[in-house]
């Protein structure tokens, strides 16, 4: 196994897949933005199959960065380009690694970033090992990490045969989102939140990831995957781990990851009876989708956590494409207060809620109840904070993750145990998928999701949307 120097800043980023879609849409822009902030301190060696010239790659990068809405500063872009070189070749071919070794030279402290088809993660890492290119290096691999529990275990075994766990960074871009990172601080640095964060106060947790667009041009990728594997197994369960874990005992990457792993271990394997699958009308016409596809574009499920903090609190997750809004949020419903005689109508007020909006326009809402003068009834009262306004503009997820990979901070990457536990949790839903319900584009998914999962608890709440400007 290669030796590890986790924590040592890299001076070289080898970007496998630099000509691909993710690079074009997101990661080249993230590197450019790091350059603009003065946070990029390495050379970048791009690797892909295309026999492009460096000039072609530079033009392609510039066009992709501009198309993402980023205003390009020529001086910054010039500095960024000076860092770039490009090697073309097939990653299954040994000659590529000979070229790479020559380009790296003896002094490289390298991060290999694999934004590549996942079937190539194993072969690339093994070739790097065979060519003795892994000593002191880190390897960041994109999602998905496996397509079920067995394949995730196999991939772990294969990668761990040549890499120490500290060298392996499993990317989940949700872990780079600032409100997701903020969860740990908000929860544990504020008594006002910390004291109500358990089953004594919380009656249900709902996590929603809604997208108001369909699969568009990604049919070939999406159809064999579906919503459960695409975003629930990874993004939503990672968020749940941060929402529900106990406080880490220290500041190290493993202190946090220990607590996340512990929480996920306490989540019961999902029950197919508490799972609703949907497919939006028109999905079957998307190019690349099988004409009789049974793939879900919507998944809603109820989970339970067997520990002292959360026993008996239903955890609802839902994610879908072509829904009414684009919004991702975490919502805690608190218990009802007693029916006190002096309160309006002597009746029940709405439950208080705590909402963390992850996207768009991250923020925190506390939903309370008041009685306005002159009225005989309850009036909702919300206390809202918008992080952008209060806390300043954050790094974008890929800026943060690429920078963390380069400086050797593993905290924002998923560890082996949490990835495998997440697959264990959703595996029964993969093995026994529930029936598929077709839903209208622009709706909130199949009505079944509300009926079937909500009964006896709380129904899905309309997400908190940013104010119209």
Ligand X SMILES: NC(=O)C1=CN([C@@H]2O[C@H](COP(=O)(O)OP(=O)(O)OC[C@H]3O[C@@H](n4cnc5c(N)ncnc54)[C@H](OP(=O)(O)O)[C@@H]3O)[C@@H](O)[C@H]2O)C=CC1
Ligand Y SMILES: O=C1O[C@H](COP(=O)(O)O)[C@@H](O)[C@H](O)[C@H]1O
Spatial distance between the Cα atoms of 57 and 375, rounded to a whole number of angstroms: 66
Of the candidates 56, 60, 131, 235, the residue annotated as catalytic is: 235
Q: Which is nearer to ligand X, 170 or 259 (CB)?
A: 170
Check whether 230 is labelled as a binding-site residue. yes
How far apart are CB 220 and ligand X at their closest, in Å? 10
Is 235 catalytic? The answer is yes
Question: Among ligand X, ligand Y, none, what does residue 12 contact (CB within 5–8 Å per kind)?
Answer: none
**3-class DSSP state for residue 200?**
coil
Rounded alpha-carbon distances, angstroms, from residue 95 to 3, 99, 127: 24, 6, 10
How far apart are CB 41 and ligand X at their closest, in Å? 24
**359 binds ligand Y per the rule CB under 6 A:** yes
Check whether 143 is labelled as a binding-site residue. yes
Binding mask 39-68 for ligand X (x = CB under 6 A): ---------xxx------------------
Question: Among ligand Y, ligand X, none, what does residue 231 contact (CB within 5–8 Å per kind)?
Answer: ligand Y
Specify which residues 170 forms β-bridges with.
141, 414
**91 binds ligand X per the rule CB under 6 A:** yes
**223 binds ligand X per the rule CB under 6 A:** no
Q: Which is nearer to ligand X, 91 or 410 (CB)?
A: 91
**Tokens representing residue 96 in the block:** 């590529």
Check whether 107 is labelled as a binding-site residue. no
3-state secondary structure labels for all residues of 288-330: CCCCCCCCCCEEEEEECECCCCCCCCCEEEEEECCECCCEEEE
Spatial distance between the Cα atoms of 158 and 145, rounded to a whole number of angstroms: 12
DSSP state at residue 20: S
Q: Report the sign of the C-alpha dihedral through residues 143, 147, 153, 159, in that order.
A: negative
**Cβ-proximal residues to 285 (8 Å cutoff; 6+ apart), any chain:** none
Q: What angle do CA 414, 418, 419 make, to 5 degrees?
A: 75
Binding mask 410-449 for ligand Y (x = CB under 6 A): ----------------------------------------
How far apart are CB 211 and ligand Y at their closest, in Å? 6
**118 binds ligand X per the rule CB under 6 A:** yes
**Tokens representing residue 104 in the block:** 């790296």
Residues recognised as catalytic: 235
* Residue list, annotated binding site: 49, 90-91, 143, 173, 177, 211, 230, 321
* Residue list, annotated binding site for NADP(+): 49, 90-91, 143
């Amino acid at each position: 196994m290669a030796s590890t120097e986790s924590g040592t800043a890299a001076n070289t980023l080898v970007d496998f897949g630099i000509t691909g879609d993710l690079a074009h849409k997101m990661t080249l822009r993230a590197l450019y933005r790091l350059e603009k902030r003065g946070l990029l301190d390495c050379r970048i060696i791009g690797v892909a199959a295309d026999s492009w010239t460096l000039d072609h790659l530079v033009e392609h990068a510039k066009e992709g960065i501009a198309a993402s809405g980023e205003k390009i500063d020529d001086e910054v872009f010039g500095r960024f380009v000076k860092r770039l070189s490009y090697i073309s070749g097939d990653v299954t071919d040994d000659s590529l690694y000979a070229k790479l070794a020559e380009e790296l030279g003896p002094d490289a402290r390298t991060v290999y970033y694999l934004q590549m088809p996942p079937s190539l993660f194993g072969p690339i890492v093994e070739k790097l090992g065979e060519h003795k290119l892994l000593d002191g290096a880190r390897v960041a691999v994109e999602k998905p990490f496996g397509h079920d529990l067995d394949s995730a275990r196999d991939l772990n075994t294969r990668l761990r045969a040549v890499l120490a766990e500290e060298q392996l960074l499993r990317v989940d871009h949700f872990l780079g989102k600032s409100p997701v990172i903020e969860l740990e601080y908000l929860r544990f640095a504020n008594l006002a939140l910390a004291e109500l964060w358990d089953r004594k106060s919380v009656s249900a947790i709902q996590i929603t990831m809604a997208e108001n667009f369909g699969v568009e041009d990604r049919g070939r990728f999406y159809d064999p995957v579906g919503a459960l594997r695409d975003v629930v197994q990874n993004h939503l369960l990672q968020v749940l781990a941060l929402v529900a874990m106990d406080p880490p005992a220290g500041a190290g990457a493993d202190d946090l990851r220990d607590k996340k792993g512990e929480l996920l271990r306490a989540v019961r394997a999902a029950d197919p009876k508490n799972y609703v699958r949907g497919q939006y009308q028109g999905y079957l016409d998307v190019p690349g989708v099988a004409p009789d596809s049974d793939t879900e574009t919507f998944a809603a499920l109820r989970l339970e956590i067997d520990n002292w903090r959360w026993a008996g609190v239903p955890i609802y997750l839902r994610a879908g494409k072509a829904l009414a809004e684009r919004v991702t949020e975490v919502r805690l419903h608190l218990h009802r207060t007693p029916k006190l005689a002096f309160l309006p109508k002597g009746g029940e007020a709405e439950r208080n809620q705590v909402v963390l909006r992850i996207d768009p326009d991250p923020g925190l809402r506390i939903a309370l109840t008041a009685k306005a003068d002159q009225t005989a009834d309850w009036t909702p009262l919300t206390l809202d904070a918008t992080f952008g306004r209060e806390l300043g503009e954050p790094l974008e997820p890929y800026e943060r993750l690429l920078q963390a990979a380069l400086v050797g901070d593993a905290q924002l990457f998923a560890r082996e145990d949490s990835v495998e536990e997440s697959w264990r949790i959703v595996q029964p839903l993969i093995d026994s998928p529930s029936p598929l319900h077709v839903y209208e584009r622009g709706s909130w998914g199949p009505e079944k999701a509300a009926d079937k999962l909500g009964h006896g608890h709380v129904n899905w709440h309309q997400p908190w949307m940013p104010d119209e400007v």
